Amino acid sequence: MKQWLTNNFWLKMISLILAVVTWFYISGELAKRPSSYYPRPPNMPKP
């Protein structure tokens, strides 16, 4: 386990930072959008 962690440690850390940043960025972008899970009622005006 320790060997697995220390092997390419910095690459693992950079990947983790990239993964967290990407996740937060995309989730932030998705939060801006209106939800596509529920269809808009036909009479409702477009946002």
Partner 1 sequence: MISELLKFWQPVLEIIILWYVFYHLLVFIKGTPAVQVLKGLIFLIILFLISLFIAQKLNLTIISWILPKFFAVFLLSFLIIFQPELRRGLAQLGQGPIMGLFFREERIIDEVVDAVYSLAEKKIGAIIALEREIGLKPYIESGVSVDSKVNSELINTIFMPHTPLHDGGIVIQGGRIIAAGCLFPLTQNPKISKGLGTRHRAAVGLTDETDALVVIVSEETGIVSLAREGKLIREVDRETLNKVLNNALMQSKRPKFSFKKLTRMKTK
Residues forming the site for partner 1 (CB under 8 A) = 8, 11-12, 14-16, 18-20, 22-23, 27
How near is the Cβ of 5 to partner 1 at its closest, in Å? 12
Among 35, 16, 31, CA closest to 5: 16
* Long-range contacts of the stretch 15-20 (C-beta < 8 A, 24+): none
Look-up of token digits 């060997």: 3
Q: Which is nearer to partner 1, 15 or 40 (CB)?
A: 15
Shortest gap between Cβ of 18 and partner 1 (angstroms)? 5
Question: Considering beta carbons, is residue 23 or 40 the nearer one to partner 1?
Answer: 23
How far apart are alpha carbons 34 and 47 in whole angstroms? 9
